Amino acid sequence: MIDLAILPVYLTAVIALLLIPGPDMLLIASSSLSYGKKVGVFASLGNATSGLILTLLAAMGVSALIAMNPIALQVLRLLGGAYLLKMGWDCMRTQPSDAPSLEQSSSVAKTLYRRAVISNLLNPKALIFFVLFLPQFVSTQVTATSGEQMLVLGLLLNVLGLLFNLFLVTMIGSLGQPLLKNEKFRTNQHKFMGLIFFVLAIWLLASQVPAV
């Protein structure tokens, strides 16, 4: 399905990209630190889910059509920023008494999963990444179509990304255990996440969407 001759170059590029801090890493790391490993795992799964959706869109050529429309990209950017601002505001409005107990902290896992999926899908730079990155490794030396090759390459990228994020969750989740046992931190953990969402919103809204 893919040219094995270019596989080492592709894997090297993927590993380099995974090591570069970005909004996805910030959301997953802060989720693990604020609520523990289980919530971090769900945030990682949310990121992987959005990656699979973007891979399918790229393989079918849909993402390329969207990426070539500047208006569509700007609408995505504004929607994504507005969504993150709303999430931040909702977290900031949460009362300290609503903070989950250690036993109930997993109740926010589904919420973080959904937020990770939506925030990544509404990020035009994530969509453009799949349009610009995957085609570089499509080869004419194999019988598979470009769409089939992009599908396999995207799946490999998402599997490696998920494994990397789960490792990140394990490391940060372990470091955050003392914080989760701190009553003062737990009463303000929603506000900490609210601040993270505001940072992500500013990050997205202030960024320039590259032209394709």
SS3 of 95-120:
CHHHCCCCCCHHHHHHHHHHHHHHHH
Measure the CA–CA gap between 209 and 181, rounded to whole angstroms: 41
Confidence at residue 209, expressed as pLDDT on a 0 to 100 scale: 63
Measure the CA–CA gap between 90 and 93, rounded to whole angstroms: 5
Measure the CA–CA gap between 117 and 62, rounded to whole angstroms: 18
pLDDT band with cut points at 50, 70 and 90 for residue 156: very high
Confidence at residue 45, expressed as pLDDT on a 0 to 100 scale: 96
Confidence at residue 94, expressed as pLDDT on a 0 to 100 scale: 73
Q: Which two tokens stand for residue 130?
A: 């799949």
**What digits encode the pLDDT tens for the residues 162-208?**
999 999 999 887 776 776 666 676 667 778 888 988 998 898 888 77
- Burial grade of 135 (CB within 10 A; 0-12, 13-18, 19 or more): middle
Cβ count within 10 A of residue 208: 7
Q: What is the pTM of this model?
A: 0.84
Confidence at residue 4, expressed as pLDDT on a 0 to 100 scale: 84
Question: Average pLDDT, stretch 55-68?
Answer: 85
Domain boundaries, the chain: 4-206
Confidence at residue 73, expressed as pLDDT on a 0 to 100 scale: 84
Q: What is the CA radius of gyration of the chain?
A: 18
Residue 15: its H or E element:
helix 7-19
Question: Average pLDDT, stretch 95-114?
Answer: 67
How many Cα atoms sit within 13 Å of 105 on the Cβ side? 24
Confidence at residue 37, expressed as pLDDT on a 0 to 100 scale: 87
- As separate numbers, helices (DSSP H) first and strands (DSSP E) second, the chain gives 11, 0
